[in-house]
Structure 1
Amino acid sequence: MTLSQREFGRTGWNVSEIGFGAWAIGGSWGGVGEDDAKAALNAALDNGVTFIDTADVYGDGRSERIIRDVLRERGGERPIVATKLGRRLDPHVAQAYTNRQALAGFIDRSLSNLGVDTLDLVQLHCPPTEVYYYPEVFEAMDEFVAAGKIRFYGVSVEKVEEALKAIEYPNVMSVQIIYNMFRQRPADLFFRQAQKKKVAVIARVPLASGMLTGKLSADSVFAADDHRAFNRHGEAFDVGETFSGVPYDIALQAVDELRSLVPVDASMAQLALRWILMEDAVTVVIPGSKNATQAMSNVAGANLAPLSVEAMQRVREVYERLIAPQVHQRW
């Protein structure tokens, strides 16, 4: 399968417009066996994916190590592998990000986990908002680039405010942000600013934690170690990461209203991914996959025909009526 490529900001890279989000193969999504995790990643790579997103805290390094093992087994040209740092800080507070020694330790650990000499892209992992007002944190990242430990760095944010502040720093190459049918605010202002500055945009949580697959119902049950069970109200991390922060019953109602837009021989998940790719400011979308079937289905979403003006308007209408009152001003 051929995937279209998009320019990754100012890095000189071109990456597949569908990437591989490696949170699920690390943990917090119920059990995913190592064989299934490797099969999912291999299927994505076999079908043209050239961008993988992970983090040092996904399964306490498990996700990074699975990626290392798969890429070693495959050989050949490597995809771009982006990882993240910062969530290992304890306590996870803004001031802790000024500890360069701690950040350096996280980078060394990821270098070891991924089995490389230089990390392609390191992202600050949803730090507290105040961190974006600490120039010394970004100066430290510049030093890690100069030392050859990382090629480029970016940020992963919760809020549009944080994204806009982050791209004031000249060497921030990418911003990872939640953008999907249920979280449309980034398109209002941030995307245009990112385009002006040639900053890559990584769209995460594209399926709203599975809600936009259309497969969940009022009776769905989630494993105890699945964030969709334990983080419904933000108990473990930002509630916006779980179902995009939309109350479960309202999200189900919105999904039901969107079902009629799904093309024949396509899935709602594929529709949701294609909707994101209609936005040219988005560089890469990173759906997660627990197995090979999901990975191949995600890649196929890029091959759907462009959505009609009427379909785009319908998605916006459902968003404004049901979803925006819950989330728009919050993130």
Structure 2
Amino acid sequence: MNYRKLGKSGFNVSEISLGTWQVGGGWGEPFNEKKAEEIIHAAIDAGVNFIDTADVYSDGQSEAAVAKVVKSRSEEVFLATKCGRQIQPHTAEGYTPERLISYVEESLQNMKLETLDLVQLHCPPTEVYSRPEIFGAFEKLKEQGKIRNLGVSVELVDEALMAMKYPNVTTVQVIFNMFRLKPTEQLFAAAKENNIGLIARVPLASGLLSGKMSSNTTFNPEDHRAFNRHGEAFDKGETFSGVDYEQGLAAVEELKKLFPAEPSLAAWALRWVLMFPEISTVIPGASRPEQVRSNIQAAELPALSAAQMEGVKAIYDQYLRPAVHQAW
């Protein structure tokens, strides 16, 4: 495993880490503590030292499972969680310092910890980024020793740029994959200038970039890939990166022509993300331990060629740019 600096947090984190949305619900299967623990152990066994979760993943059960496993291990593992999505309706007016502080307190209780390595605002409405009192609340938590760092998980590149204006923001979590190239234009340079750690989420476009889906693929009705394709429940950019499913399948067929069949398109898609030195870590999810090990092997692949990098961009420009580029 290779490690990269997570911005001004000072943490050296595994370049491929673990996201636990799949572990904690939203993908059509109920939370399974035993399976969750197996996945987390497999990640740490392979050198992962950064795990991302959230308080809304199975109502805190994901947080609890992550912390339980980490406490049972001798390795240093950095824990990141998120808060804010409990606010319903999810509006800027619902964001108050008091409410967010209470969520952090709940996460500490769920995880039975005294300090959280990283707390991230969980895709708040754009207006929240213009409210200094929200970001100031986390500075107080830091002074109290309850958190070490503040970050944001964003939907829009513009939101990331707004967040970087606050000096206590150390990380930005953003959707970045072969279907979402906009972050390379302004965000990467700004992150480097401000020493912000960039966390690449949804790196496989909700599985589209696995190369295993087709027009006949079906999804559990409780899987967001079935119920949120048009943003019915939350931002549609979270589901298939906002790409039309059939258009995404067509782009995938073109991508397959650029890369060897082995080990998998998913592995090459993760390796593509790591070609960008501005990315501190990428956090693919997993629904079983074998997926964790497969994801991590992507870091061992050779660097992509200039022709492959240019090919990915050309496919994006042809199939995806008109629909997604300015939307996020």
State the TM-score bracket (shorter-chain normalisation). over 0.9
Alignment TM-score, normalising by the size of structure 1: 0.97
1:297-329 Cα shifts (integer Å, max 9, x gaps): 000011110000000000000000101111000
Task: Name the structure 2 match of 1:149.
Answer: 146
How many Å separate the matches in 1 of 2:73 and 2:294?
24
Matched residue, 2:51: 52
Mapped contact 2:101–2:138 kept (Cα < 8 A): no
Aligned to 2:262: 265
Match of 1:234 in 2: 231
TM-superposed CA distance for 1:264, in Å, is: 5.1
Q: Secondary structure at the match of 1:216?
A: coil
Q: Which amino acid aligns with 2:49?
A: T
Deviation at 1:90, TM superposition (A): 2.5
Tell me what 2:215 maps to. 218
User: What is the SS of the residue equivalent to 2:117?
Assistant: strand
> Structure 2: how far apart are the matches of 1:49 and 1:262?
26
The whole-number CA distance in structure 2 between the counterparts of 1:264 and 1:322 is 21
Q: Which runs of structure 2 are paired with 1:165-184 in the superposition (5 Å)?
A: 165-184=162-181
Q: Is it true that 1:25 corresponds to 2:29 in the alignment?
A: no
Equivalent-residue separation in structure 1 for 2:182 and 2:88 (angstroms): 31
**Which region of structure 1 is more displaced relative to structure 2, 200-209 or 7-16?**
7-16
Q: Percent same amino acid among aligned pairs?
A: 50
Matched with 1:280 is 277
The DSSP-based 3-state class of the residue aligned with 2:80 is: strand
Alignment of 1:238-253 (within 5 A): 238-253=235-250
Q: Distance in 1 between matches of 2:21 and 2:159?
A: 22
Q: Distance in 2 between matches of 1:141 and 1:95?
A: 18
Tell me the equivalent position of 1:82.
80
CA distance in 1, matches of 2:210, 2:10: 33
Q: After the TM superposition, which residues 163-202 of structure 1 pair with which residues of structure 2 at under 5 Å, given as runs? A: 163-202=160-199
Question: 2:11 aligned with 1:13, yes or no?
Answer: yes
Q: Is the 8 A contact 2:271 2:301 kept in 1?
A: yes
Q: For residue 26 of structure 1, what is the amino acid of its counterpart?
A: G
SS in 2 for 1:92: coil
State the match for 2:65 in structure 1: 66
Post-superposition shift, 1:295? Answer: 0.4
For residues 88 and 241 of structure 2, the distance between their equivalents in structure 1, rounded to whole angstroms, comes to 25
Gaps of 5+ in 1: none
Q: Which structure 2 residue ranges, 5 or more long, are not aligned? A: none
Letter in 2 for 1:84: K
Q: 1:241: how far off? A: 0.2
Shift of 1:262: 2.5
1:325 partner letter: P
Once residues 269 and 38 of structure 1 are traced to their aligned partners in structure 2, the CA distance between those partners, rounded to angstroms, is 23
Runs of 4+ off more than 6 Å: none
CA distance in 2, matches of 1:215, 1:82: 30
Corresponding residue number in structure 1 for 2:116:
119
CA RMSD of aligned residues (A): 1.0
Provide the rounded CA distance (Å) in 2 between the counterparts of 1:116 and 1:186: 34
Paired residue total: 327
**Residue 60 of structure 2: SS of its match in structure 1?**
helix
Tell me the secondary structure at the aligned position of residue 199 of structure 2: strand
Is 1:206 matched with 2:213? no
Give the secondary structure class of the aligned counterpart of 1:150. Answer: coil
The TM-score, its normalising length taken from structure 2, stands at 0.98
Q: Which moved more, 1:257-266 or 1:167-176?
A: 257-266
